[in-house]
Every structure is written in C-alpha cells, then in structure tokens.
Amino acid sequence: MINRHLKLVALLLAMALGTVTASAQSTQFSLGLGYNWLSLTGSEDMYKSQFNARQGFGLQELSLATTNPSDTVIDHLRFDAAGFGSDPEGRFRLRVGLAKVYDLQISYFRARYFNALPTIANPFFGQGITPGQHTQDQVLYNFDMNLELLPGASVTPLIGYSEYHVGGPSITTYHVGQDEFRLNSNLDSTTHETRAGLGFHLGDFQATVIESWRTFHETTNSALAPGAGASNNPDPVLGQNQTLSSASRSDRTDGSYAMTTGSFSAVLSDSTRASGSFVRADYTATFSEGEAFSGNLVSFDVARFFTGLNVSGYSTAHTSNAPDWRGDGRVEFDPTDTVQLSGGFVRSHRTVDGFALISNLYTGSVNYAGLDPRDLAVLLTSNNAMQRDDNTLDAKIVVRKLGPVRLWADVAHTDQDLTVAEDVAEIVVPGGQGGYFHRSIKRYSAGAALTFSTFKLGVDWKEDSSPQSIVRIDFRDVKRWKARADWTAAKLFRLVATAEWITGDNPTPDVYYDLKTKHIGADLDITPVKPLALRLGYGRFKTDTSAFYRVPQDFTLASSLYGENGIQKEASATLKLARFLIDGGYSKFSNTGSVGLELDHTYAHCDFDFTAKLGASLQYDRYKYIDDVFTLSSFDAKRYGVFLRWRQ
C-alpha cells in the first residue's frame, strides 16, 4: 500500500516540480546514476549481514533546489534522494512551500535487512553447520509527511502523517514438545500515524500542542520448514521420538495508540528563559494467535505430564495496555554576562499491563489432573503488570569568559520506583521475579574548556552513584572522564586528540559486576597544498567486564568475562584539481578481545568532469573481513561502480 501511495505522491509532486522549476529564478540540480559490480569470495551470509550491498543499478545522488520568491504557489523547493537499487538503503527528502502560507516536508526511507549469522540461535554451531536457525531477509519502508500552515503566523496549524512497514521472510525456531523445530515465517507489520496540532508564536512565548493517533497491525504466518519435521534433536525425550508431520502458526496484533505532545519555550525577561515539554501515550494492543501441530511430542505444559501427545490445536487471545507519560521543565537564568544558572526536572511514568487467555486443545494424551484433556483454558494475569516512575531534578552552573576558560558543574538526583507483579514461576522457585524496587542515583558532573587562539582543550568528568541496584547489571558507581584537545595551525593542519575512561561496578557480594573501558584516539588532517588533503587517524579501545553467575549445569560459581582490545587505523588522501578529483584511503579495524576479528576497508573514488555540467565517477571499495574464531564467516568483497553525473 505504501508504495502505491508513494507513486501517486511522487507523480503529483513531479508535476508540481515541473511547474515551479519552469519559472524558477534559481535552480541547482544534480543527478548521479550508475552501475555497481560485486565480486565476493567467502561467506555471502556474513557479507550480506554486515553490508548487503548488491550488484546492479544505483542512484548515487539526485538533488534539486529551487527558489522563486515571486511564485504564488511554491516559492522554495528542495528534493534530495540517494541509494535504492543496488544499495540496501534508499531515502528521499522533499521540502516545498510558500512563505507565510505553507511548509511541507516529506521523507521516505527504505532499507533491506538481512541476517544469517553462524553464531546466533544456532544449535549446530559446534558441528560447524551454518548459518544459524534465525535468519531474516526483510524490508523496511518509512514514509513521513509534515505540513505547517501559515508559517510565521501567531497560530500555525500542524498536520502530519507517517507510515512504517516492516515485512518479509525469515526462518525461526519454535519450541514444542521439549524440542525445537525450524519454521519458515513471514512478517507483515504496518504502522499508521496521523497527527494534528497547533503551533503558537506569541511574542516571546512559543508553544506546540499535537495530538496523534497511531494504529499498528502485524501478522506473522509460520509453517514447518521442509525437512525440519524430525526436530533439531534426534534423541528421544522420555522414550518418545519428537516428530512433526505438519505445523502452522499465525498471529495477529492490532494496536491503537493515542498520543499527546506539548512543548513550550518562553523568554520571561532578558536574562530568564523557561522551557518544557510533555508527552502522553496510551497504548492498547489486542493479540490473537492460532496454531496447529500434528506429530508425536512430549509436553510439560502447565506442569502436567503428557505422553504420546498429539497437539492438534491451540488458540490464544490477549490484550495489553501501556499508559505512559513524561514531562520536563527547565529554567535558565543569566545573572551576569558570564554566569548562567539553570535548573530542571524530568518526571516519567510507564505502566504495562495485560492478560492472556490461552486455550489448549490436546488429543490422545494422558494427564493426571482429572481434566478433560481436549480443552484446557488458562487465564494468565501474572508477571504482566509493571510500573515504573522516574523523577530527576538537576541544577547547573556555567561560567563563561573566565579569561580563556569556561567552567560548568551540574548536580542531579534521580529516584526510580519499579513495581513488578510476581510470575507464575515464582510458585516453583521463589525470588527475583517480582516485587517493589527503589533506586536513587546521584550524579555529579563538571567540565572545563580552555580556548587559546586556535588551541582548545576540554575536560569533562561525571560520576553516578547509587546505594541500590534494581537489576544485577545496574552499576552502583560509574565514573567517566573525557578529554579533548583540538589544535588548528593556520590552514596547514588540524590535530584532534581524545581520550575517555569509564569505570563502573556493582560490588554487591553475589554480583561483583565490574567494567573498565578506555578509548584514546587522534586524527590529523594535513593540507600541504590547497588541492591535496591528507588524513591520518588512530584509535585504540579496551574494555573489560566481569560479573558473577552460576553455571547452570553444575551450579558452580563463575565469572562472565568479556573483553575488547582493538585498534583502528586509517589513512586517506584527496586530490582535487580543476576537473579531476581522486579520493582514496585505507582503514583497518582489529580486535583481539573475546572475539578476534579484522575488518579492512580499501577505497578509491575518482571523479572527472567532462564539462561543467557532465561528469563521471569511478568507485572501488573492498571490504575484507577475517573472523579468527569461526573462519568460515570470513569474506572478501570488492565492489566496482561507474556513475554518470549531471550537475546544474
């Protein structure tokens, strides 16, 4: 549907474009079209999961900007598009309007998602079988339109519409009968959003109020993948072979959401400003699901024992609600030219609540509960209610023009309250499933910036501390240091160096969560002569985290360790002569932490102008990925492109 709407909108706009450009007083236009070739060796799945660029025609650029202040329908228009075709992403943006009458902005985005990774959801990874059993080849469309009427007037009506679509095939697994089976699946998810509101521009007071309505429809249809009936695990369970002769599953979600958004800013005096925003969203979703399986299975559903089970039917109906709101306000006050004081608050609330009515229909099974085994309905209301409230207050002081130095300091306090209903599983193993949790966080931060001629030095420090953690990976203490130096010497070079250290921990005796990470990097841009620009970059990062956990198979205590230790190097050169531009470079990324890998990128792009209006581009990109752990994932992809360009 979105594509059909899009074609209609595009063609109507093309006619409008034609009308306005024909009489335009100023027009800039560029179009680059061409063809890409792809040469790939190694893992195609991994290449597509990381890049997904293909062979074929592609749009390098399409840009049109035109103004005509004397036109009475469209006095400004700008259109930009790139991608599509062989590129996995494509986008266009259009802005068109008439001063004081209307301003229309339209954008469209399309992206292909591909995922087939050897280590994700792969029960056979140890046997060297790839890819994993969760793969996707899906497409996302996103269309967005905003119209402002009477821009610049005291009251401006605002109208908007958005449409999002995600869909396409995937392979997934399904757990039934104490085993998992591969299913072919197809997703079709569409979101429509309509907005209407008003903008207020009354002297020093500006405000916007928008009411939005969103609907969400999603269907997923799945069926047993060919040859997957024997399950992933050939071993019998409780003496029963697990097989499926057929499986089908479909679900549908319908959601509706009403949202209210408001914001304001006001200049209260020459030295005082206030601003704030509010958003409230009421989500309601209904969900239905049906599935039918035939085969021999074992089930522990609802903690009862079945043997020789033939599951022939299953249906569910659910609803869930999630009213959310968030508000914030801030006041900025400048007592002098050099000092700014500001304070603000943020409050937010989120509730999620729902229930599920699940009907199971079993045949040919035995249970020991005395129930009719063919029709069993379970109403679940547990572990589906959560509520969270956050309150944050902060105060900040900025001291400017203290000689060449600027200083700032900020203090903030956050209270988090979380209530979670207990899970059914709590009956079996108590603890950790629900309850009331509170966390208060104090944050102190400060920074200084020194500006001396063309040299700048900045240092930031921030520390968060809390006596509580809600989940195990909540830090009790986090410290961050950042430093940045920037030196520009005439037009000859610019050197930027940065460093960042972060440490965090949760020293609770049975958690011992610990994090240390640091980045350092430097970039040097050199322009020895005007047509030539050289760039060198170096970055190094190191991360180590650890956390206690219990090994499920033997209940021993162990540490979950994760490390990254990487280097990034890059060098590039750009030479621009009268009608000729060449841009080439090389970058290397390597990691020797928990995951050993290398990713090299080599590129050379060459532009040549045949005339002032007509030119051509030659492009070469090579991505070489080396996976040290699972070498079958490595690939070497070379992409060549030839483009013709017309500029006006």
Partner 1 sequence: MKTIVRVLSAVSVPWLVASIALAASAPVKDAGTAFAPCNTCHEDLTKAFAANPHARLVAASCANCHGDGAKHAAEGEKSLISVPKGAAGAKTCLTCHGRTKTFTHAGSGPHATAAVYCATCHSVHAAAGNVALLRAASGAECAPCHPAQAREFAKPFAHHLGRAGLTCYSCHNPHGGSGERALKESIAGELPCLTCHPDKRGPFVFQHVNGVTGNCLSCHEPHGSNNPKRLIRPRIDQLCLECHTTVPTGNLGSMPPSSHDLRLPRYQNCTICHTAVHGSNSSPMLLK
Question: In the range 319-378, which residues lie near partner 1 by CB under 8 A?
Answer: 319-322, 324-326, 328, 330, 332, 340, 342, 344, 346, 348, 350, 352, 354-356, 358
**d(C-alpha 440, C-alpha 417), whole Å:** 9
> Under rule CB under 8 A, which residues in 4-63 are in contact with partner 1?
4, 7-8, 11-12, 14-15, 17-29, 49-51
CB of 376 to partner 1, least distance (A): 14
Least distance to partner 1, CB of residue 369, Å: 20
Q: Does 491 bind partner 1 (CB under 8 A)?
A: no
Q: Which residues contact 623 (CB under 8 A, 6 or more apart)?
A: 47, 50, 51, 599, 600, 601, 635, 636, 637, 639
Minimum distance, C-beta of residue 210 to partner 1, in the bound complex (Å) = 7
The residue among 46 and 373 lying less far from partner 1, judged by its C-beta, is 46
| Minimum distance of partner 1 from residue 4's CB (angstroms) | 6
CA distance 108 to 146: 12
User: Among 121, 159, 536, 644, which residue interacts with partner 1 (rule: CB under 8 A)?
Assistant: 121
DSSP 221-256: EEEEPTT-TT-S--S-BTTB--EEEEEEEEEEEEEE
Q: Which two tokens stand for residue 610?
A: 């045949």
Among 55, 221, 574, 587, binds partner 1 (CB under 8 A): 587
Asked if 134 touches partner 1 (CB under 8 A), the answer is: yes
Q: With helix as H, strand as E and coil as C, how does 148-181 read?
A: EECCCCCEEEEEEEEEEEEEEEEEEEEEECCEEE
Among 147, 150, 225, 449, the residue binding partner 1 under the rule CB under 8 A is 449
Positions in 79-118 near partner 1 (CB under 8 A): 80, 82-84, 87-91, 93, 99-100, 107, 109, 111, 115, 117
Greatest pairwise CA separation for the chain in angstroms: 89
Q: Which is nearer to partner 1, 69 or 531 (CB)?
A: 69
Site for partner 1 in 506-535 (CB under 8 A): 508, 510-511, 513, 519, 521, 523
Among 106, 297, 420, 441, which residue interacts with partner 1 (rule: CB under 8 A)? 420
Helix, coil or strand: residue 536: strand
Work out which of 96, 311, 412, 418 binds partner 1, going by CB under 8 A: 418
Is residue 292 at the binding interface for partner 1, with CB under 8 A as the rule?
no
Quote the least distance from Cβ 117 to partner 1, whole Å. 4
> Assign residue 124 a region: left if phi > 0, alpha if psi is -120 to 50, beta otherwise?
alpha
Q: Check residue 423 for interaction with partner 1 (CB under 8 A).
A: yes
Measure the CA–CA gap between 465 and 473, rounded to whole angstroms: 14
Is residue 429 near partner 1 by the rule CB under 8 A? Answer: yes
According to the binding rule CB under 8 A, does residue 644 interact with partner 1? no
Between CA 71 and CA 444 the distance in angstroms is 55
Please report how close the Cβ of residue 332 comes to partner 1 at its closest, in angstroms.
Answer: 5
Q: Given candidates 72, 269, 453, 553, which one binds partner 1 under the rule CB under 8 A?
A: 553
Whether 208 and 197 have beta carbons less than 8 Å apart is answered as yes
Q: Is 19 helix (H, G, I), strand (E, B) or coil?
A: helix
Between 237 and 346, CB nearer to partner 1? 346
- Give the nearest distance from C-beta 595 to partner 1 in angstroms: 5
Among 248, 433, 503, 572, binds partner 1 (CB under 8 A): 433
Return the residue of 186, 243, 384, 391 that touches partner 1, per CB under 8 A: 384
The CB-of-23 to partner 1 minimum distance in angstroms stands at 8
The binder of partner 1 chosen from 96, 104, 106, 166 (CB under 8 A): 166
SS3 content of the chain, % helix, strand, coil (to 5): 5, 70, 25
Asked if 487 touches partner 1 (CB under 8 A), the answer is no
Binding mask 186-225 for partner 1 (x = CB under 8 A): -x-x-x-x-x---x-x----x-x-x-x-x-x-x-------
557 binds partner 1 (CB under 8 A): yes
Q: Is 117 or 244 the residue whose CB approaches partner 1 more closely?
A: 117
Question: Residue 294 CA to chain centroid, in angstroms?
Answer: 39
Distance of CA 347 to the CA centre of its chain: 24
Residue 181 to residue 177: CA distance in whole angstroms: 10
Nearest C-alpha neighbor of 83 from the set 103, 54, 105: 54
Is 164 near partner 1 (CB under 8 A)? yes
The only residue of 35, 38, 67, 139 in contact with partner 1, by rule CB under 8 A? 67
Query: How far, CA to CA in Å, does 598 sit from each of 520, 565, 634?
Result: 19, 12, 9
Answer yes or no: are the C-beta atoms of 175 and 158 closer than 8 Å.
Answer: no
Q: Confirm or reject binding of residue 586 to partner 1 (CB under 8 A).
A: no
- List the one residue from 102, 114, 143, 174 that touches partner 1 (CB under 8 A): 174
554: CB partners within 8 A, 6+ apart: none
User: Is residue 547 close enough to count as binding partner 1 by CB under 8 A?
Assistant: yes
End-to-end CA distance of the chain: 35
Q: What CA–CA distance (Å, rounded) separates 262 from 279? A: 6
Q: Does 438 bind partner 1 (CB under 8 A)?
A: no
**What does the DSSP assignment read for 78-121?**
EEEEEE-TTSSEEEEEEEEEETTTEEEEEEEEEEEEEEE-TTSS
CB of 83 vs partner 1, minimal distance in Å = 3
Nearer to partner 1, 364 or 521 (CB): 521
Q: Which of 398, 571, 573, 575: binder of partner 1 (CB under 8 A)? A: 398
CB nearer to partner 1: pick between 40 and 356: 356
**Three-state SS sequence of 324-372:** EEEEEEEEEECCCCCEEEEEEEEEEEEEEEEEEEEEEEEECCCCCCCCC
What gap in Å lies between CA 227 and CA 219, rounded to an integer? 25
Among 473, 492, 532, 642, binds partner 1 (CB under 8 A): 473
Looking at the Cβ atoms of 105 and 370, the one nearer to partner 1 is 105
Q: Smaller CB distance to partner 1: residue 71 or 618?
A: 71
The 3-state secondary structure of 417-434 reads EEEECCCHHHHCCCCCCC
Piece of the chain touching partner 1 by CB under 8 A; list 32-40, 312-320, 364-372, 571-579: 312-320
| For the chain, counts of helices (H) and of strands (E) | 2, 27
281 binds partner 1 (CB under 8 A): yes
Number of residues that bind partner 1 (CB under 8 A): 204
Q: Residue 471 gets which letter from DSSP?
A: S
Q: Which one among 54, 479, 494, 605 touches partner 1, defined by CB under 8 A?
A: 494
